[in-house]
């Protein structure tokens, strides 16, 4: 039966004064895939994440050229095996009492090809699903109820990963008077910092400015300091400019992410009897800092050289899909910072504003990317369909939308663009980089190149501010002398593959290992034909003064691209992540932590020590630590005291340079213990792993102790089984069930198994290698919420209960 959508009316604040600026987030919509069945949804919303997983959603017969394939074969799960392909429609209404002088709908991204209708009339369209865009709807509104509709379309083979579907980022209605500040015209940049004084320049534009108007800008520091501009005249084109000398400038950096508030006001008749009338005002946050790249200093932040310790992140948030959520983004950034990372690359597309705000406030540098292809398609219906017509508009929106975020330290105009070898590619690079410079002269521009020889030969690499090579560390040395820049970025590195908690024997170093269970080994010795192990990248960062850092593929697993299992079903998410899809650290996390986290020590042993049936068999043991030396004991018997070593030939990879490895250990149940020594040979710490007994209870570990009663906040609870002594049971695969009561609700669950077809949105799931993460969402009211976890496989294990506060 057909039924009409229940439409939620948005009462707007502009009833009182239609000329006052107001920004209303439109989060309540009706949604339909087929135009007949409608459901109420909260935006951000991803129409595909609730599944079900099915091979048929994105089955392809293709050759993945980037991976060196020449013959087409059947591929499944490449874009997540979720139902994102097809059409969808969202509707909402907005009640308006008095018509504003100006109104625009601001989309932070809509997947994809959104067409926007206001009161039945086509008001706007954008082709690319990842970009922010604005639709001027002043002429389309009327008094009373206004219908807003967004139609979206995702075509097959338009993405190399899971893009999600729908209004997956916030939508906002901005209204103001006819004369108003154009939000994206505001631009604040730090020109220099000397003796603690920051020289800052700012500009903006007033739409509909009148001759009797002036502007003011004020910078408010984190310490309460205020630096005010003079009264600023507004030109005939509506533009105004300000300069500031900010004393005792609190500079932004990953270590100290200080933010300033910038308040811009437009005043009419400032000399009038009442000191002028406020026409419009806009507040934004920014940070003061300088960024530069040079032959002498490499990459510099605030004048200090540093090598970027970066990770690539795709936009999906695991079991939440593409729908952005602040708590989920905070968790990601916290996880990466604790590992010691100081930068992310938003591969391979425009980031959400929410993500950039989180990076600003938590201190994470960002390479903000734009495209995965230009004119030549990497997948049949990808962005190549739009590039010629849209590229400039897309770069413009990327830069204008995000240029005040201090976290962004460089723009990227592309990833592994097939045109690297050609003159045409070189010209496009010059054009797109030039456009970035015009809109934002303060940041360097890069792109990731996977064919270094071709890119250097064609001039493609030479024209970039920052030459970025993807993988192929053996190409660094021969190509570096041919590059004019004098430095090189590892724009994408590693692509080592592993599954959390899976260990394969014998341990092999391999670029093509596959196993019947669709998993990869966590000894961190497996990679792809085009990629390498983390140790190789560490070596290039340590031994080549001219490298300026790297972005590891990837910080966290993502939906789609299940290499090396593109032809294996079921397998629907990546193995590249340093953390799994649930955000649980794999062993590799500690390898990076041991190199990157310079504030805390790392001592991490692998594998786990519960191997019934392997008694007496060779079971290599690795320790990831920043300490140079350690001794390993099995049930008190020494397995040798060893030191990290560079190896005979410094230019060849030695796995013993960054890892401590005991390759001949024979398994016996009991206690595995490592004792580490510092550079002076002093005992510095230890770690012990014990063979686990039978599961005795459920352990719940939450990443938060209280939640905000905003209907969006999330808590992530890691669920594991432990024996009676508290040892985790690392092989447990029990089915766990979740019940949430009180001021919150079950949101989703994920166990990090790339081959699992269990739904993310059903309140039950099997543990994968002893663990999973359940996500609970706060309600709108104050109170408490209770999560109850029941082991459905083993009734002898008692349910575990956790209670949390939900506060306003």
Judged by beta carbon, residue 384 or residue 690, the one nearer ligand GAL is: 384
Phi/psi for 142 (5° steps) reads -140, 170
CA pseudo-torsion sign 45, 46, 49, 54: positive
At its nearest, how many Å lie between ligand GAL and the CB of residue 160?
6
Distance between CA atoms of residues 243 and 260, nearest Å: 15
At its nearest, how many Å lie between ligand GAL and the CB of residue 799?
41
Distance between CA atoms of residues 246 and 605, nearest Å: 49
Q: Are 536 and 653 in contact (CB under 8 A)?
A: yes
Q: Are 282 and 181 in contact (CB under 8 A)?
A: yes
Judged by beta carbon, residue 149 or residue 561, the one nearer ligand GAL is: 561
Judged by beta carbon, residue 479 or residue 491, the one nearer ligand GAL is: 491
Q: Are 240 and 204 in contact (CB under 8 A)?
A: yes
At its nearest, how many Å lie between ligand GAL and the CB of residue 471?
7
Judged by beta carbon, residue 65 or residue 98, the one nearer ligand GAL is: 65
At its nearest, how many Å lie between ligand GAL and the CB of residue 588?
14
Residue 220 annotated as catalytic = no
At its nearest, how many Å lie between ligand GAL and the CB of residue 381?
17
Please give the full DSSP string across 119-142, using - where no structure is assigned: TTEEEEE-S-TTS-EEEE-GGG--
Scored b (16 or more CB within 10 A) or e, 89-125 reads bbbbbbebeeebebbbbbbbbbbbbbbbbbeeeebbe
Judged by beta carbon, residue 44 or residue 418, the one nearer ligand GAL is: 418
Judged by beta carbon, residue 581 or residue 749, the one nearer ligand GAL is: 581
At its nearest, how many Å lie between ligand GAL and the CB of residue 449?
10
Cβ within 8 Å of residue 73, ≥6 positions away:
61, 62, 63, 567
Distance between CA atoms of residues 359 and 549, nearest Å: 19
Q: Are 87 and 152 in contact (CB under 8 A)?
A: yes
Q: Closest residue to ligand GAL, Cβ-based?
A: 495
Judged by beta carbon, residue 64 or residue 251, the one nearer ligand GAL is: 64
Residue 24: alpha-carbon gap to chain centroid: 26
Judged by beta carbon, residue 493 or residue 595, the one nearer ligand GAL is: 493
Distance between CA atoms of residues 317 and 556, nearest Å: 9
Judged by beta carbon, residue 371 or residue 590, the one nearer ligand GAL is: 371
Distance between CA atoms of residues 717 and 501, nearest Å: 18
Contact positions vs ligand GAL (CB under 6 A):
66, 348, 415-416, 450, 470, 492, 495, 528, 531, 553, 561
Residue 416 annotated as catalytic = yes
At its nearest, how many Å lie between ligand GAL and the CB of residue 530?
6
Q: Which of 749, 584, 565 is nearest to 51 (CA)?
A: 749
Q: Are 368 and 413 in contact (CB under 8 A)?
A: no
Cβ within 8 Å of residue 627, ≥6 positions away:
601, 603, 676, 677, 678, 684, 685
Judged by beta carbon, residue 64 or residue 219, the one nearer ligand GAL is: 64
Q: Which of 416, 419, 743, 758 is catalytic?
A: 416
Q: CA end-to-end span of the chain, whole Å? A: 41
Please give the full DSSP string across 715-731, using - where no structure is assigned: EEEEEEEE-TTS-B-TT
SS3 363: coil
How many C-alpha atoms does 675 have within 13 Å on its Cβ side? 12
Bond from prior residue into 240 cis (ω within 30 degrees of 0): no
Distance between CA atoms of residues 619 and 611, nearest Å: 9
At its nearest, how many Å lie between ligand GAL and the CB of residue 765?
27
Q: Which of 643, 624, 644, 623 is nearest to 633 (CA)?
A: 623
DSSP tag of 110 = -
At its nearest, how many Å lie between ligand GAL and the CB of residue 526?
12
Q: Which of 369, 492, 668, 758 is catalytic?
A: 492
Judged by beta carbon, residue 387 or residue 471, the one nearer ligand GAL is: 471
Q: Are 695 and 645 in contact (CB under 8 A)?
A: no
Judged by beta carbon, residue 298 or residue 452, the one nearer ligand GAL is: 452
At its nearest, how many Å lie between ligand GAL and the CB of residue 337?
23
Q: Give the H or E element holding residue 326.
A: helix 326-339
At its nearest, how many Å lie between ligand GAL and the CB of residue 448?
6
At its nearest, how many Å lie between ligand GAL and the CB of residue 561?
6
Q: Are 642 and 662 in contact (CB under 8 A)?
A: yes
| Number of C-beta neighbours around residue 372 at 10 A | 24
Residues tagged active-site: 416, 492
């Amino acid at each position: 039966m057909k039924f009409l959508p229940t439409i939620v009316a948005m009462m707007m604040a502009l009833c009182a004064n239609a000329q006052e600026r107001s920004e209303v987030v439109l989060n309540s919509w009706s949604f339909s895939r087929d135009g007949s069945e409608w459901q109420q949804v909260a935006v951000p919303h991803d129409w595909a994440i609730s599944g079900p997983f099915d091979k048929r959603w994105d089955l392809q017969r293709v050759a993945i050229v980037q991976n060196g394939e020449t013959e087409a074969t059947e591929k499944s799960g490449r874009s997540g095996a979720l139902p994102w392909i097809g059409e969808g429609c969202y509707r909402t209404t907005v009640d308006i009492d008095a018509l504003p002088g100006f109104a625009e709908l601001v989309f932070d991204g809509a997947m994809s090809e959104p067409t926007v209708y206001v009161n039945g009339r086509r008001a706007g369209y954008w082709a690319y699903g990842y970009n922010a865009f604005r639709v001027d709807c002043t002429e389309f509104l009327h008094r009373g109820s206004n219908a807003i509709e967004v139609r979206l379309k995702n075509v097959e083979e338009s993405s190399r990963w899971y893009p999600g579907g729908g209004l997956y980022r916030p939508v906002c209605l901005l209204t103001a008077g006819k004369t108003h500040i154009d939000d994206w015209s505001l631009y604040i940049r730090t020109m220099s910092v000397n003796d603690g004084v920051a020289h800052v320049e700012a500009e903006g534009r007033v739409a509909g400015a009148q001759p009797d108007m002036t502007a003011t800008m004020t910078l408010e520091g984190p310490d309460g300091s205020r630096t005010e501009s003079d009264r600023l005249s507004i030109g005939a084109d509506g533009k105004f400019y300000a300069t500031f000398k900010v004393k005792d400038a609190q500079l932004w950096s990953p270590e100290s992410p200080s933010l300033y508030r910038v308040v811009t006001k437009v005043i009419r008749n400032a000399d009038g009897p009442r000191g002028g009338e406020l026409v419009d005002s806009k507040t934004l946050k920014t940070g003061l800092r300088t960024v530069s790249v040079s032959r002498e200093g490499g990459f510099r932040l605030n004048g200090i050289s540093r090598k970027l310790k970066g990770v690539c992140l795709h936009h999906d948030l695991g079991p939440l899909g593409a729908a952005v959520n602040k708590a989920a983004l905070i968790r990601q950034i916290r996880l990466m910072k604790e590992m010691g990372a100081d930068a992310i690359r938003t591969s391979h597309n425009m980031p959400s504003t929410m993500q950039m705000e989180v990076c600003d406030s938590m201190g994470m540098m960002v390479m903000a990317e734009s495209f995965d292809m230009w004119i030549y398609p990497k997948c049949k219906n990808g962005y190549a369909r739009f590039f010629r017509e849209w590229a400039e508009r897309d770069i413009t929106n990327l830069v204008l939308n995000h240029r005040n975020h201090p976290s962004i330290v460089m723009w990227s105009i592309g990833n592994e663009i097939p045109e690297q070898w050609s003159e045409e590619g070189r010209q496009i690079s010059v054009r797109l980089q030039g456009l970035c410079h015009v809109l934002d002269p303060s940041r360097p521009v890069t792109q990731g190149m996977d064919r270094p020889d071709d890119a250097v030969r064609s001039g493609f690499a030479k024209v970039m501010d920052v030459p970025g090579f993807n993988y192929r560390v053996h190409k660094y040395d021969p190509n570096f002398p041919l590059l004019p820049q004098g430095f090189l970025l590892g724009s994408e590195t590693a692509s080592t593959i592993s599954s959390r908690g899976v260990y394969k024997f014998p341990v092999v170093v391999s670029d093509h290992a596959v196993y019947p269970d669709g998993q990869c080994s966590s000894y961190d010795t497996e990679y792809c034909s085009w990629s390498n192990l983390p140790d190789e990248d560490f070596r290039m960062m340590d031994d080549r003064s001219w490298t300026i850092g790297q972005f590891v593929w990837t910080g966290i697993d993502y939906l789609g691209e299940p290499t090396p299992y593109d032809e294996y079903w079921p397998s629907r998410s990546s193995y590249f992540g340093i953390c799994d899809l649930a955000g649980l650290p794999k062993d590799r996390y500690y390898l990076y932590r041991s190199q990157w986290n310079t504030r805390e020590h790392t001592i991490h042993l692998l594998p786990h020590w519960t191997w019934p049936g392997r008694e007496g068999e060779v079971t290599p043991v690795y320790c990831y630590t920043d300490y140079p030396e350690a001794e390993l004991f099995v049930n008190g018997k020494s397995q040798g005291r060893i030191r990290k070593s560079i190896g005979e030939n410094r230019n060849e990879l030695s796995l013993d340079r960054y890892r401590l490895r005991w390759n001949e250990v024979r398994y016996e149940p009991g206690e595995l213990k490592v004792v580490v020594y510092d550079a002076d040979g002093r005992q510095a710490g230890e770690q012990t792993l014990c063979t686990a007994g039978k599961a005795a209870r459920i352990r719940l570990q939450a990443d938060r102790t209280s939640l905000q009663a905003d209907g969006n906040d999330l808590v992530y609870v890691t669920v594991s089984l432990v024996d009676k002594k508290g040892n985790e049971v690392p092989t447990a695969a029990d089915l766990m069930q979740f019940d949430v009561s009180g001021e919150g609700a079950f949101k989703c669950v994920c166990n990090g198994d790339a081959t699992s077809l269990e739904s993310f949105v059903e309140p039950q799931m099997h543990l994968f290698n002893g663990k999973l993460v359940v996500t609970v969402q706060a309600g709108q009211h104050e109170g408490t919420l209770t999560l109850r976890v029941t082991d459905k496989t083993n009734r002898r294990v008692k349910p575990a209960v956790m209670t949390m506060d939900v506060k306003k």
